Amino acid sequence: MAVLKNWILVAIVFLASPSAFSAKASDEDGTLPPPPTAIDPLMSYSEQRRLAKLLPSEQISPCRSSQEFATALKYFKESDLPLSLSEKLKWSLRLSEGCDGATSRFSRLFKYMTHAGFDIGFSLLSSGELALFPPSVTDSFLVLFPGLIAADLLSLDYRTAFRLARDWSLIPSVRAEKLQSDFLQLLRFCTENKSTQLPIGVCADLVTQVAPLSPLYVEGLFPAFRELIDFFQAQKLLKLSLGQSLPWVREILKGGPFAKDEFKETLRLLIQEEKVALPAKDLLQIALKVSHQSFVPSAEELSRLLKDLKFSDARSSLSAETSASKGSADETAR
């Protein structure tokens, strides 16, 4: 008992510290991020080559840029795109940076985006950007974008859906099919079940903030999400509505695949201890801190899994319908 009391006192002091739960990135607190120590396979090819000069121990595949330039120039000359010769040369030079297969990736992306209704200028720029990355990025985008467009209930405009699909495709270790599955299950959870139906603004925030955590979960994120929701709803002492519990669930899931069980066990311990007279928010913060200590990947895994979990600002560009309903969503959540 004495040990637990001491532990609680330490936790309270921690919570009172201004630095507690600071989520600032290294470049936000006045310090520079550490220099890269390895080449990420999801970097653009030009970035890989730039880093290879700084990291002699790293090996990258040779880039047959002249061959890709010739392939791209042939593609643009034979296309009916309204481009001048100088523009075709410019785009061919651009695609040569993407090395082997960049023109093929560009062609797939450009064809899809123009068929989806994007104008030629935007399709050129966007396809040219994604084509410079490895093939897995193109494959992921072409899975994720249609799924986002099909999510009519979110009222996503095409450019917002594009930005989300692009950002999610660039998350390290992303498995597009699994992320799309988690996305659709989250969408159904917050729109179809009458007992959990949420306003469109809350639903939009939920799926755009939680779905990108999918790569942390080998078996998929949704089962862990659902289990945490059920757990919160069963804790009557906390007196949290579904809307109020969602931010806590999101933060727990950021802690990785083991955080869920560690959070639940810690919170149960605190609640069962009769003499722990702390506000519910403090109990939750203690349990959250303990749960995040359960996931300690290697430096390389940490870099690959967590550095890109800075969610797209695209969610702030949701359609007018979504934005207009945000105020009522917040009131409902409270």
Q: Which pLDDT tens digit goes with each residue over 127-173?
A: 999 998 888 889 889 988 887 877 666 677 788 888 888 888 888 77
- Residue 333, pLDDT above cutoff 60: no
Long-range (24+ apart) CB contacts under 8 A made by 3-11 are 4/273, 4/276, 5/275, 8/270, 8/276, 8/278, 8/286, 11/282, 11/286, 11/289
Terminal C-alpha separation, the chain? 36
Give backbone dihedrals phi and psi of 207, rounded to 5 degrees, phi first.
-70, -35
Least confident window among 48-52, 94-98, 258-262: 48-52
Q: What pLDDT does 53 receive? A: 47
Question: pLDDT, tens digit, for every residue of 178-223?
Answer: 888 888 888 888 777 666 667 777 777 888 888 888 888 888 899 9
Judged against a pLDDT cut of 70, whether residue 12 lies above it is answered with no
- Quick check: helix, strand or coil at residue 224? helix
Instruction: Report CA-CA distances (Å) from 103 to 78, 94, 127.
Output: 13, 10, 10
Residue 313 contacts by C-beta under 8 Å, 6 or more apart in sequence?
A: 163
State how far the Cα of 292 lies from the Cα of 269, in Å rounded to an integer.
17
Write out pLDDT tens, residues 66-96.
Answer: 999 999 999 999 999 999 999 999 999 999 9
Q: What is the mean pLDDT of residues 50-72?
A: 68
The two tokens of residue 332 are 């409902």
Nearest to 206 by CA among 287, 284, 322, 302: 322
**Is-contact 314 212, C-beta < 8 A?**
no
Which two tokens mark 163?
A: 């930005």
- Which pLDDT score, from 0 to 100, does residue 72 have? 94
Average pLDDT over residues 19-25: 35
Who has greater pLDDT, 39 or 182? 182
If one compares 2 and 261, the residue with the highest pLDDT of the two is 261
Q: How far apart are CA 133 and CA 102, in angstroms?
A: 8
For CA atoms 71, 77, 78, 83, give the dihedral sign: positive
Percentage of the chain surpassing pLDDT 90?
23
Residue 159 CA: distances (Å) to CA of 144, 149, 272, 308, 317:
13, 10, 49, 21, 9
Q: Which amino acid is at 121?
A: G
The more confident residue out of 89 and 324 is 89
Please report, for the chain, the start and end positions of each structural domain, with discontinuous segments joined by +.
Answer: 44-49+62-133, 134-334
Nearest one of 236, 216, 229 to 186, comparing CA atoms: 229
